[in-house]
Chains A and B, each alone.
Chain A
C-alpha cells in the first residue's frame, strides 16, 4: 500500500511540475537556461588535434567555476564510427563534435535545439550560420529544426606561398578561373609544383577540395548544397560538374599535383607545403595558426575565383559542428555554452586566435582583433566577401556519413591512377550516394 501511495504521489508531483513548465512564459524560461550555481560536470567528446574546443572549455570554467569538464577525444575518422554508439549509450555526452549530423538527427539521437534557439535568439543570427545544422521533417538538411551549433565557421580556399607566387609573376590573387589556370601552367613551366594536396585513404582524398571549388567556379552553389542536404532528386552528376571534373582531370594529367598524392597524408601535405613544396594548397582556415607558425609572412590566401569574368567567388564554409545528445544530462548548460561561445567577448577572441575562423554569433558584434601579419586577416576578409555574396557551401564529403570513404576517396584516387575519368567519377559517386540513401 505504502508503495502505491508513493507512486501516485510522485506521478502527481511530476504532473504538477510539467504543468508549471508548460505554463512558464518564454522570458522566464530564458533565465532558467544556464549552468546554475551547483557544481556540474559537462561531458565532452572532442576531436583530437583541434585545440579550440579545449581552450573554450577552459575559459568557460574560468568564468563559471561551478562547471568542470570530463572530456574524451578521438581522431575524426574514429569519431565518425563512434558517434552513434556514444549518442545512443547509457551515459551520452552533453557536448559532442559531430562529423555529420543528418542521420543522427533523423534517428532521434540528437537534441532538438529549437527551444534554445527561441530562448537565446539564435534565429536572429545570420541565416547561413544555422541553416547547415537544420534538418527538416523529411530528413533533408538546410531548413527545419535546429540540431547542432557551430563553435565557429570555417572557410576553405587556396593558400599560396608568397615567394613562389612572386616567382611566377602573381602580383595579386587571380580573379577568374582562367587566370588561376594560367598561374598553374606558369608554375609548372618554372619547375615548381603547382599544387600540394593530400590524397591517402587514411586522411581522405584531398582532391575533393579543388573539385568542389571547381564545381562552384563553373556552376552555382545551389545544386551542390541541395545534393549535400539530400534534397529529393538532387544529383552531383550535372553538366556543370562534369566540366569541373574535367578541369580537375586535366590538372592531374598536366602534373599539377604531386605524383605520390595517393600516398600523402594530411599532415605531410601541410609539412611539405610549409617547406616550399607547392605554390598553392587547397585547405581551410583551421590551418591558419599552423601556417602562421611555420611560414610566417610567406603565406597568402584567396577564395576560388569564378569561371566568369566578374562572377562571385564561392567557398566551402562549414560550421565546426557540435551537438547535444538527446538524453544528455546537462543539456541546458551545454546550450548555454553554445550561446556563450557566440556572444562572449573572450570566447570570440579565442575562436579567432585559436580556431582561425569567424566566431559567428549575432551580426551586431564586432569581429575580434587579429594579430597583424596573421593569415587570419585574409581569411576573415575573404569570408565576409563570401558571406555578402551568399555563395558558401557545405563539404561534398559530408553529404552522407560514408560518401567520402566509399565514394569520393576511392574514385578520385582512381582518377589519379588513370583508372577513372570525369564522367565516370560523377556517375559512380552518384550511384554510391543513391545506394547509401536507399539503405
Chain B
C-alpha cells in the first residue's frame, strides 16, 4: 500500500531542513517551559519535601489552598494590583501617547518617549530597592510632602496597612507606564493622518478625536498592553518581594511570594505547586477576554 505520497512531492528535504531549524528552539521550549509546567501539575497532586519520597494525595493540596484564608487572600491582593499594574498604566499611557501624538512630535516626542521608557531598562529588583528607600519615613517622598506642608500625610508608605499595597502598585505604574506609552504611541504613528485631519476640519476636540478615532483603532495594541500588564500584576514577585516581602502582616502578599515561601522555606512542594497551577489558571481566565478583543479588531 504505497499509494499515498508525501504531501510535498520533492519538498521532503525542505521539510527536514525546516524541522532542523525549529528543533533547537523546540527542545529549549520543551525542556524549560513545557516540562516544568507539566511537573508543577504533577507535584500539585503529591506530598513532597523536594527530595524525599513522593506520596500521592489527590486533590488535598488544592483543598488546603482553598481552605487557607491567607493563601486565598494573596489572590485578592494580586487582583487589586491589576488596577495599578494594568488599568492605570494602559489608560494613562493612552492619554500621554495621544497628547504626544498631537503636540510633541519630532525631537521632543522622542525625548519624552525615552524618559518614559527608562524604567523598563532598570532591573525590577533595583527599582524595588530604590523605591523602598524613597518611600521610607525618612525618604525623599515624605521629605517633599513635608516641604510643601503636607506633614499630616507623611508615613512609612510600605509599612502602612492601608497604603502598602497602593505604594507597591505605584512602583508598578512607574515601571509599566513607559512600556504602554511607547507601544501605543508607536502604533499611533501608523494611523492614517487623514483621519485626524478630517476630524479636525469637522471641529473635533482632542477628546472626541481620542474616543472616536484613537482608542477604537488601537484595540489590538491596547489588548497587547492589557495582556502583558495583567500578567505582570497577577504573577508579580520581584517588586513585591524586594519592597515589602508581603508585609506588613500579609497585606501585600501575592501568590508569587506565598509559592516561594511554601516551596522553599516550608519545603511543601505540593501546596506550592497547587497554588502555582491555580495562579496559571487564573491568569489564563483573566487574559482570554483580551485575546478575543484582539481577534475581533
Q: Which residues of A contact B (CB under 8 A)?
A: 80-82, 84-85, 88, 103, 107, 199-202, 258-264, 268, 401-402, 405-406, 409-411, 413-414, 416-417, 419-420, 436, 439
Contacts and interface: CB of A to CB of B under 8 A. Distances in A.
Contacts of B244: 200-202
B267 A410 contact: no
B266 A436 contact: yes
B265 A201 contact: no
B156 interface: yes
Nearest to A204: B245
Interface in B183-223: none
Interface of B: 49-52, 135-137, 155-161, 241-242, 244-250, 260-261, 264-268
Contact of B247 (A88, A103, A201, A268): A201
Contacts of A261: 159
Contacts of A414: 161, 248-249
Contact of A81 (B155, B242, B264): B264
Given A260-B156, A262-B156, A262-B159, A416 B266 contact: no
Contact of B159 (A103, A264, A405, A409): A264
B266 A406 contact: yes
A410 B261 contact: no
Nearest to B242: A202
B98 to A, nearest CB: 37
Nearest to B252: A201
B161 A419 contact: yes
The main secondary structure of chain A at its interface with chain B is helix
10 smallest beta-carbon distances between A and B, as pairs: A263-B159, A201-B247, A260-B156, A262-B159, A81-B264, A260-B137, A201-B245, A263-B156, A414-B249, A88-B51
B261 A406 contact: yes
| B136, B161, B247, B268: residue with the most chain A Cβ atoms closer than 10 Å | B247
Contact of A416 (B245, B246, B248, B260): B248
A252 to B, nearest CB: 13
Contact of A200 (B159, B161, B264, B268): B159
A374 to B, nearest CB: 30
B265 A410 contact: no
Contacts of B247: 200-202, 262, 409-410, 413
B51 A84 contact: yes
Contacts of A402: 261, 265-266
Given A201-B248, A258-B137, 13 more contacts: A80-B265, A263-B157, A263-B248, A401-B266, A405-B265, A406-B261, A410-B249, A411-B249, A413-B249, A417-B248, A419-B161, A420-B249, A439-B266
A194 to B, nearest CB: 17
A268 B135 CA distance: 14
A113 B156 CA distance: 47
Contacts of B246: 201, 410
| A88, A201, A268: residue with the most chain B Cβ atoms closer than 10 Å | A201
